[in-house]
Structure 1
Amino acid sequence: MARGRLRSRLRRFDQSLANQPVYALTETVQIPADPISPTRRIVRRIVYALLALCAATLIAYLERDGYRDVQGDDLSLLDCLYYATVSLSTTGYGDITPLTPAARLTNILVITPLRVAFLIVLIGTTVETLTTQSRQAYRIQRWRSRVRNHIVIVGYGTKGKTAAAALVGDEVAPADIVVVDEDPVALERARASGLVTVRGNGTNSEVLRLASAQHARAIIVATNSDDSAVLVTLTAREIAPNAKIIAAVRETDNQHLLKQSGADSTVLTAETAGRLLGLAVQTPTVVEMMEDLLTPDAGFAIAEREVSPKEVGGSPRHLPDIVLGVVRNGRLVRVDDEEVDALEAGDRLLYVRSADVDR
């Protein structure tokens, strides 16, 4: 009953973000894009302006018989270029007009570039903002329609950042990692690493839906407090019943709450760090080895693989790999347990691999 009441309270706080138009989500969801330097943007705008000027000049020249100047002469190519220039720059023509070719050439070569530069400064920022929002809205719409089997990280503090780095080091594409957080600084760090970001509270089911948590293969809960972790886990399990949820917890007493909320596995951050600190006093090399095993992109690392057909029926202790345990029916069994003396089809091996050899 209490769990049901908590879910109903969470629903009342939902803001129906997933039902909003895509353009309204550009400040909430950020899809990484290739950075473009300001100089390149300005050069690109100038090139576009010159192309438009050339096109207008060509059109005026092809239809020059329909144009007359104030002197009644036929239009030359220079006259057509001048007409295109004053037309595209919204200057117009009237009581003050250059009459000699030299004056018109000066207007084209000097006045017009200054006028174009003025227009870039005046409306360039507004145009760029509108086009950036349009591109971002398109990327969000395309991403939401395609994203599947990705990983959602709720909380991008020290734990979340380290978890993302470990995933990338284990050959997970940054675009397949979505970070959910409320801190703009943390989200900016995540975007700089090429990760997709969603700004909002992970306890809000609509925020998790924006991160497509319902289609994720794994959800990592790395919040700063155990109570937030319980609420996030409860919400995530409700909208993603098939996802694997891994939650970080500070206190052992709260571990069972996360299990009841739907977490598949939990990590005791405070106690694990305390054990390593204690080991470092007497056996610092053990801590170094543990750090090496937890770093997937260098040295040794802990990995998991499926048993090959040739290994079925054999003992995991007789394999070339250093096997630490066997995962059977979703349950981890120690390698020295009699239950796994003979490997079966479908078993998975937890073993130590060399990252350098794999690379």
Structure 2
Amino acid sequence: MAKGKLRRRLRRFDESLADQPVHALTDRVQIPSDPVSPGRRITTRVVYALAALFAAVIIVYLDRHGYRDVESSPNPNDPLSFLDCLYYATVSLSTTGYGDITPVTPSARLINVLVITPLRVAFLIVLIGTTVETLTTQSRQVYQIQRWRNKVRNHIVIVGYGTKGRTAAAAMVGDEVAPSEIVVIDDDAAALERAKSAGLVTVRGSATSFEVLRLASAQHAKAIIVATNTDESAVLVTLTARELAPKAKIIAAVREAENQHLLEQSGADSTVVTSETAGRLLGIAVQTPSVVEMMEDLLTPDAGFAISEREVSPKEVGGSPRHNTDIVLGVVRDGKLVRVDDPEVDALELGDRLLYIRSADAER
């Protein structure tokens, strides 16, 4: 009964955001793209214009017997030369028209093609460049959003791009997760701009809404990281995300340990108590600061040592994880983490996964 009321409250919108036309979502969803310099954009436009020009020249040349040059001498019925075709295509595409002043000599027509036409093209670029850029940018965004929504699967959604969310994204990118596979949900424009600058896909809105989560394709995500600023919003986001994505792995951060059970009851697979973890490290640093330094090293995947996970190889089956060539910290068996000194995992089995310490520098 309570779950049904929650569902009706969360779906209070008159129209689903995820069901809206793609062009209506360009202010909410941002797909990062490679920056292009203005000089390259202008060069591309000029190349397109020249391609259209020479296509017209070929068309006219192939049908040159159907054209007549009234200024030809002595016989106006002679077929056009290639230069005549080039001239005709040039004045046609540049919308010059046929007025009272018409170049009639080959030299004048050659100057018209080589000098006047580039000036006309430059003028047109300056005159309509802004409008063309606006239309092409919007069209490109619509195409990118549509393509992304059709293909995105098994990605990672980060709810909240504050200190916790930003650090989580950096850790995953350092652990060789492609930025394009990370989607950030936040309602703060500055945070979304930072995420976009890092190459991440962004969705503007509150993740307590079903529709915003659907817009980020959370129902197809393999993992959802809840890094909100308050425990109350973390619980509501976790509850909403679990109902929308029952198979996704949800990792949630909570400030106070007393709220940890609420996140677990809401559907979080893993929880991190940020205040107690930070306080514990501060206390340890008083007596043994080197331990904190080592912990920081282990939590940085792209340098020094790092904690990683891998599957047991056939050669390791039956052996003890304590005698492994890698420094093994624990064994994951049937989805449950078991300490390496537990007699239950004294003999490794096929399908086990090892938590071990790897050297990021050695792998590079």
Q: Tell whether the structures are fold-level matches, with TM greater than 0.5.
A: yes
User: 1:25 is aligned with what amino acid?
Assistant: L
Is residue 247 of structure 2 the alignment partner of residue 249 of structure 1?
no
Q: Distance in 1 between matches of 2:145 and 2:329?
A: 42
Deviation at 1:137, TM superposition (A): 2.8
SS in 1 for 2:59: helix
User: 1:83 is aligned with what amino acid?
Assistant: Y
Gaps of 5+ in 1: none
User: 2:90 is aligned with what amino acid?
Assistant: T
- The aligned residue for residue 149 of structure 2 is 144
- The aligned residue for residue 245 of structure 2 is 240
Q: Distance in 2 between matches of 1:116 and 1:231?
A: 57
User: 1:235 is aligned with what amino acid?
Assistant: T
Which residue of the other structure, out of 226, 245, 258, is the alignment partner of 1:221?
226
Q: Distance in 2 between matches of 1:67 and 1:55?
A: 17
RMSD (CA atoms): 2.4
Q: 1:304 to 1:62 in 2, by over 3 A?
A: closer
Q: Distance in 1 between matches of 2:264 and 2:55?
A: 68
Q: Give % identity.
A: 80
Q: Distance in 2 between matches of 1:169 and 1:306?
A: 21
Q: Distance in 2 between matches of 1:279 and 1:14?
A: 53
Q: 1:310 to 1:107 in 2, by over 3 A?
A: closer
Deviation at 1:259, TM superposition (A): 0.9
Q: Distance in 2 between matches of 1:222 and 1:2?
A: 25
Which residue of the other structure, out of 283, 286, 295, is the alignment partner of 1:281?
286
SS in 1 for 2:18: helix
Which residue of the other structure, out of 324, 328, 347, is the alignment partner of 1:323?
328
Is residue 177 of structure 2 the alignment partner of residue 177 of structure 1?
no
Q: Distance in 1 between matches of 2:197 and 2:34?
A: 11
- The aligned residue for residue 94 of structure 2 is 89
Q: Runs (4+) of structure 1 moved beyond 6 Å?
A: none
Q: Distance in 2 between matches of 1:301 and 1:242?
A: 28
Is residue 235 of structure 2 the alignment partner of residue 230 of structure 1?
yes
User: 2:207 is aligned with what amino acid?
Assistant: G
Contact 1:303 1:352 in 2 (8 A): yes
- The aligned residue for residue 332 of structure 1 is 337
* Superposition map of 1:169-208 within 5 A: 169-208=174-213
Q: Distance in 2 between matches of 1:106 and 1:224?
A: 67
Q: 1:13 to 1:257 in 2, by over 3 A?
A: farther
Is residue 316 of structure 2 the alignment partner of residue 295 of structure 1?
no
Provide Cα deviations, 1:102-127, integer angstroms capped at 9, x if missing partner. 54444333332222112112222322
- The aligned residue for residue 37 of structure 1 is 37
* Number of aligned residues: 359
SS in 1 for 2:351: coil
- The aligned residue for residue 56 of structure 1 is 56
User: 1:192 is aligned with what amino acid?
Assistant: S
Q: Distance in 2 between matches of 1:113 and 1:223?
A: 56
Provide Cα deviations, 1:180-236, integer angstroms capped at 9, x if missing partner. 222333223223322222222211212212222111111111112212211211111
Gaps of 5+ in 2: none
Query: What TM-score, normalized to structure 1?
Result: 0.90
Deviation at 1:92, TM superposition (A): 1.2
SS in 1 for 2:58: helix
Query: What TM-score, normalized to structure 2?
Result: 0.89
* Superposition map of 1:109-124 within 5 A: 109-124=114-129
SS in 2 for 1:241: coil
